[in-house]
Amino acid sequence: MKILTTVKEVREYVKNQRMQGKTIGLVPTMGYLHEGHASLVKKSVAECDVTIVSIFVNPTQFAPNEDFEAYPRDLEHDVALLTECGADCVFHPEASEMYFADATTTIVPDVLSKNLCGKTRPIHFGGVCTVVGKLFNIVTPDKAFFGQKDAQQLAIIKRMVRDLNFGVEIIGCPIIREEDGLAKSSRNTYLNAEERKAALCLSEAVKIGMEMVEKGEKSTKVILSAMIEHIKKEPLAKIDYVQAVDGSMQDVEEAEKDTLFAMAVYIGKTRLIDNFMV
Ligand code: PAF
């Protein structure tokens, strides 16, 4: 598997693959890869001739009080996992390769980024869109793969691709969970043993919500109350939000097809997210 660090190298690599008539899949990541990422890579390997995985902890999507410095990194482990999954190339640039010091142009998503995570992380999705837009321009993939765990991110990227006419198909992939239900996340590594147990309140709340929907409950107020009540029983949990929204990330009163029930909950200092879609 190739490891490339510059934009020029990636462009040359992609040009070469294209000349051989190959299709390109991109899996953008921030590294510290787990089975959730592996599922995206395997899907890309199955659907595209060549799979490029970017590993870049993107500084512009972290606010100064967030965990950019602490964000876990382990390139050696990531490369081993990606080799196992059949990826063809890793793009692992320095921040100075991705961002010009005097850059003045960014991508700022509008309405979709104001609710849910955007309420407490107001600069986050601008950073995500800018780096993902840049990766699309550098790699020019046919398809790009994102996890449904970051449901708001997925919705925003799909809208960005449509609005700005990027020539890439966005593929959303299901949430991968630990055996006990906790959604896989690089941030799970921050949890101590007690917090790891407490973190189950998120996936349990998801299960409660899903079961209510399956039984025919339509009122999002009733469903959200049951989910919130369950999370509040956990002393280490502090709710950031638990909400039900439509495809434009606007709150809805009635659960229908594609309604997204999403939550962010602090377990100790660690902010975790989870969701389900009707
Ligand atoms: O989901 C992530 O890991 C990041 O937000 C992404 C899409 C790689 C952009 O930095």
- Tell me what pLDDT residue 107 has: 98
Interval 230-240 mean pLDDT: 98
- Tell me what pLDDT residue 89 has: 98
Tokens of 98: 């991705």
pLDDT digits (tens, 9 = 90+) for 11-33: 999 999 999 999 999 999 999 99
- Tell me what pLDDT residue 263 has: 98
Residue 21 and residue 148 in one domain: yes
Confidence of residue 121 (pLDDT cuts 50, 70, 90): very high
Domain-embedded: residue 261 = yes
Domain-embedded: residue 180 = no
Is residue 34 annotated as part of the catalytic site, yes or no? no
Q: Is 88 touching ligand 1 by the criterion CB < 6 Å?
A: no
Domain tally for the chain? 2
Nearest-CA neighbor of 33 among 87, 74, 4, 68? 74
Domain-embedded: residue 276 = no
Distance CA 109, CA 98 (A): 20
Domain end marker among 173, 207, 224: 173
Nearest CA to ligand 1 atom 2: 29
pLDDT digits (tens, 9 = 90+) for 162-201: 999 999 999 999 999 999 999 999 999 999 999 999 999 9
Interval 89-116 mean pLDDT: 97
Nearest CA to ligand 1 atom 6: 29
- Tell me what pLDDT residue 192 has: 98
pLDDT digits (tens, 9 = 90+) for 133-157: 999 999 999 999 999 999 999 999 9
Q: Write the burial class of residue 110 (CB in 10 Å: 0-12 exposed, 13-18 middle, 19+ buried).
A: exposed
Domain-embedded: residue 277 = no
Nearest-CA neighbor of 131 among 160, 110, 111? 160
Confidence of residue 259 (pLDDT cuts 50, 70, 90): very high
Ligand 1 centre and the CA of 29: distance in Å?
A: 5
- Ligand 1 probe mutation, 121, 123, 153, 272, most atoms within 8 A of CB: 153
Kind plus residue range of the DSSP H or E element containing 144: strand 143-147
- Tell me what pLDDT residue 51 has: 99
CATH (domain of 97): 3.40.50.620
Could you list the residue range(s) of the whole structural domain that residue 104 is in?
A: 2-173
pLDDT digits (tens, 9 = 90+) for 41-68: 999 999 999 999 999 999 999 999 999 9
Q: Write the burial class of residue 21 (CB in 10 Å: 0-12 exposed, 13-18 middle, 19+ buried).
A: exposed
Residue 50 and residue 130 in one domain: yes
Q: What residue type is 74 in one-letter code?
A: D
Confidence of residue 99 (pLDDT cuts 50, 70, 90): very high
pLDDT > 90 in the chain, percent: 100
Ligand 1 centre and the CA of 70: distance in Å?
A: 16
Residue 111 and residue 157 in one domain: yes
Nearest CA to ligand 1 atom 3: 29
CATH (domain of 219): 3.30.1300.10
Domain-embedded: residue 38 = yes
Q: Enumerate the β-bridge partners of residue 264.
A: 241, 273
Domain-embedded: residue 152 = yes
pLDDT > 70 in the chain, percent: 100
